[in-house]
Amino acid sequence: MEKYTLRFTYGVKASFDFNTLLVDSGAKKVMDISKKHIINQNKFEFSIN
């Protein structure tokens, strides 16, 4: 699947597909994402509480 770059409000960058989010360090599954969070196809910003 295609991978995208993801920027969090606190500065963590990650790559993910539409099912699983992975952090750059190579950690395993962190969280599932929801398409409702997608702003556009090329840039994704999340607010993490």
**Cα–Cα dist 42/24, whole Å:** 18
The confidence score (pLDDT) of residue 6 equals 59
The confidence score (pLDDT) of residue 27 equals 42
The confidence score (pLDDT) of residue 14 equals 52
- Other Cβ atoms closer than 10 A to 12: 14
Length of the chain: 49
User: Average pLDDT for consecutive 10-residue bins of the chain (49 residues)?
Assistant: 56 50 44 48 51
Question: Does the predicted TM-score (pTM) go above 0.85?
Answer: no
The confidence score (pLDDT) of residue 42 equals 46
The confidence score (pLDDT) of residue 3 equals 60
C-alpha to C-alpha distances, 35 to 25, 26, 49, nearest whole angstrom: 24, 23, 18
The confidence score (pLDDT) of residue 46 equals 57
